[in-house]
Structure formats: C-alpha cells, structure tokens
Amino acid sequence: MIQLDPEDVIEIERIAAEYTAAFRKADAAAALALTMLPMADCIDLGSRAGVYIMNEEDFTHSVLEHANEDFTTVTKSIVVEPLGKNAALARIEAVVTKPDGRTGETEWVDFLARTDDGWRIWANWLGPLPEGF
C-alpha cells in the first residue's frame, strides 16, 4: 500500500484548507498560488454539471464567482489519500448554512501533485449541494 510521509500529509491538508478558504473569500490570487494550470474542474451541480479545463482567466473568474454565494461553508474534515508518491487527493466534507439557518452537508475532492514548488492542486471534483442551496 502506498503511503505518504507524514510531512506530505500535513502539507496537503494545509494546501486543501487554504485553497478552500481562498474560494470562500473569492481570493483568486491566493487560489492561483496553490494551483497548477490548466486546472480541471468537475462539477455535479445541476445545470453547471460538466468537466471544465480552465486557463488562468477562466479559473480567476470561477474563484471570483464565490463572492456571490448566499451561504457559508465550514469544513468538517479533510482526509488525504495517496495516489502515488507524487500524487494524492484531499476529500473535504463541509457544512453549508443559509442566512435563514437551513443547513446541509456537501463534499468535494482536490487532486494534488508534487511539483518543484511543493504540492499543488491540478483538478477538483465538486459534489452536489443539498437541496435548496
């Protein structure tokens, strides 16, 4: 079974948490610093469902769209799974809350690769949001 060094797991958890925070704050520069381009985005969200290959401009636009979210997101857990010594995924589970107090759970997966600059996200998968989100 493939295992990552403990310091790699810690670094991947940090990258996944910072990447999530960058999206929540619509901070495109911070998200780009943690990303390899082009970025693959797989979405399972109704009319937006699909796979998108994004250059820097597309990716920046995607991050900035999060400024319009009408809910908050709090990470419950980040679980790292090695895909090899130079690749891993981080599975993130989160609670989402609407201003009226409705809550639900969602998940997404960030795919990371070891680069000369450290671990970077090259793709992600976003699962469906709860009904009404």
What tens digit of pLDDT does each residue of 44-57 get? Answer: 766 667 888 999 99
Looking at the structure of the chain, the number of domains it has is 1
Q: Is residue 18 part of a domain?
A: yes
Q: Is residue 133 part of a domain?
A: no
pLDDT for the residue 13: 97
Q: Is residue 32 part of a domain?
A: yes
pLDDT in tens, 89-129: 999 999 989 889 989 999 999 999 999 999 999 999 988 77
CATH of residue 30's domain is 3.10.450.50
pLDDT in tens, 21-32: 998 899 999 999
Q: Which residues contact 51 (CB under 8 A, 6 or more apart)?
A: 40, 41, 42, 43
Where does the pLDDT of residue 87 fall: very low under 50, low under 70, confident under 90, or very high at 90 and above? very high
pLDDT for the residue 52: 86
Q: Which domain holds residue 69?
A: 6-126
Q: Is residue 131 part of a domain?
A: no
Q: Is residue 16 part of a domain?
A: yes
Q: Does pLDDT of 88 surpass 70?
A: yes
pLDDT for the residue 133: 64
In whole angstroms, give the CA distance from residue 130 to residue 133: 6
In whole angstroms, give the CA distance from residue 64 to residue 28: 6
pLDDT for the residue 66: 81
Q: Is residue 1 part of a domain?
A: no
pLDDT for the residue 45: 66
CB 112 within 8 A of CB 90: yes
Q: Is residue 132 part of a domain?
A: no
Q: Is residue 34 part of a domain?
A: yes
